[in-house]
Amino acid sequence: MRFSSYSILSEKKEGIPRTLLNGITGAVDLLGPQLEPVIENALETGDVPAALAHMSDEARQSLLNRGHLTEWSVDEERAIVNILADEAHKAMARRPSFMIVPNLDCNYRCTYCFERPMQNGLKSSNTAISHKKNNVVMQAEQVGQALDAIALLRAEQGLSEEGQIILYGGEPLDRRNQAVVRQIVSEGRARGTFFAAITNGHDLDAYLDLIGRGGIEQIQVSIDGPKRVHDKRRIYVGKESSFDAIVANVNRVLEHTDAEVQIRSHVDPQNIELFGELVDFFAGQGWLDHPQVVIYGNTVYERTGDGGVTSRIDVADIDATLSPIAQAARNIYTSAPEVHAERSILPALNAGEPMKLKGTYCSANTGNYIFAPDGSIYACWESVGKECSRIGTFGESGAELDAEATDRWFGRSIARLPTCQRCAFALVCGGGCAQYAEYESDTLYASYCDDFQRTFRSALTRTVERYLDHDCKQEEKVDA
């Protein structure tokens, strides 16, 4: 008998019980004070006999039943991870995701935008996507073509037309594109579709009547610091303050709609120390603990000179710096991984059920279809407009998918990443971003860890803290 190679122990924090998560069974267990040091020592030293000697028969059997203790060999566990990854990947592939890009251009000129190389060519006649070729803004006839293709792809998986479509860009909610955006939402609603939008938020006031339940139900905007900092990073082409416009529009959305608003703050070494000041501003707006608001930090990724990718600051370093500030309200998170972690772990804690594991990182590897104005279908939103992400086309004759490209993108899972299969976090992480892996390693079939292990262990601790602090039902602790 030994401890599972896929045991994950949460980060230590005073007053919060350590949590043991098994990356094969999905079991999430709070440890009692006597068992906690025993488990920690066993995982660090591998001295299982000493650990077992300090356990009661009841504790030993509980850990065995939950998968934390195992009689499987390392190779047998790895084979099981491979099987589970394949099954989870197949299950996710039966729930494809869809995005529509009304506009590949943008009314902002953010200093760190990864789409800038493509957008710099939009005024040229020599680029594949340009205003002169009339394929930057989606045309009216393309709306029905995209929605028909989405309906067909859903039907192929036995799904109804109903479901979510994410509006993406460029800037999808530029007020200059109201005609096509309203057409997308109107025709989508008629089919039972609801929407989310990843937007800079500058023109939300032009779309308030479309925002809310049954329409655009979720909005993601970015605010990158206090006004004096934000306005130098997220620059509106009209020169007015982007900060003032976004804040005013977020308040309009919260006052007049029931939509969720996710506020992302891109942080780096130059502005991370101002996050507390930004949170104080949010408090003045009434956004802290607002039931419709989610606030989180995020790093900025950039291409390097050799074609790879780097970040200005590690996610785990953001996590460590922002963690004390995040205590100000329940709806503040240190990172997007923490948001996702809580939304996976809390249901498991509340229901006493295993955490849902996954076979891959995101829908770009199971079935994400992004319909863009150039008539192309892309798999990854980081690389919309780029050949590396193009998986097909759509138009009057319907959608035509490239079999080789779709298999390359939608076939990536832990089951095809041998290096990841040896990691305790394999079915929690899913292998990391495929596009960044390709930038770094020239193949989608490599891992991109992005400091996930440190970030997740911290997120696990804070999720348990929130669970215990907000009148949730406390699970019975496993103890010696």
Give the end of a domain, one of 288, 321, 351. Answer: 351
Give the end of a domain, one of 325, 351, 377. Answer: 351
Residue 243 has what pLDDT?
98
Residue 473 burial by Cβ neighbours in a 10 Å radius (0-12, 13-18, 19+): exposed
What is the mean predicted confidence (pLDDT) over 204-232? 97
Q: Does 264 map to a domain? A: yes
Q: Does residue 283 sit in the same domain as residue 197?
A: yes
What is the mean predicted confidence (pLDDT) over 255-278? 96
Q: What is the mean pLDDT of the chain?
A: 93
Q: Does residue 182 sit in the same domain as residue 319?
A: yes
Q: Which two tokens stand for residue 196?
A: 């989310």
- Tell me: the pLDDT tens digits for 43-82? 999 899 999 999 999 999 999 999 999 999 999 999 999 9
Q: Does 422 map to a domain? A: no
Q: Does residue 50 sit in the same domain as residue 124?
A: no
SS3 state of residue 332: strand
Q: Does residue 53 sit in the same domain as residue 145?
A: no
d(CA 320, CA 326): 10
Percent of the chain with pLDDT over 70: 98
d(CA 299, CA 294): 17
Q: Which two tokens stand for residue 49?
A: 């006999």
Q: How far is CA 371 from CA 45, 82, 107, in A?
A: 51, 32, 20
Residue 26 in this model has a pLDDT that exceeds 70: yes
Q: Does 359 map to a domain? A: no
Residue 479 in this model has a pLDDT that exceeds 80: no
Q: Does residue 145 sit in the same domain as residue 242?
A: yes
Give me the CATH number covering residue 282. 3.20.20.70
- Tell me: the pLDDT tens digits for 270-279? 999 999 999 9
Q: Does residue 183 sit in the same domain as residue 227?
A: yes
SS3 state of residue 8: strand
- Yes or no: say if 326 and 320 are a contact pair by the CB < 8 Å rule: no
Torsion of CA 188, 193, 194, 197, to 10 degrees: -60
SS3 state of residue 284: helix
d(CA 186, CA 348): 37
Q: Does residue 130 sit in the same domain as residue 226?
A: yes
Q: Which of 283, 361, 450 is nearest to 85 (CA)?
A: 361
DSSP assignment, residue 325? H
d(CA 227, CA 332): 19
Q: Which of 183-192, 240-249, 302-311 has the lowest mean pLDDT?
A: 302-311
Q: For residue 243, what are the domain limits?
A: 96-351
Give the end of a domain, one of 314, 333, 351. Answer: 351
Q: Does residue 261 sit in the same domain as residue 175?
A: yes
Q: Does residue 125 sit in the same domain as residue 236?
A: yes
Q: Does 87 map to a domain? A: no
- Tell me: the pLDDT tens digits for 405-437? 999 999 999 999 999 999 999 999 999 999 999
SS3 state of residue 333: strand
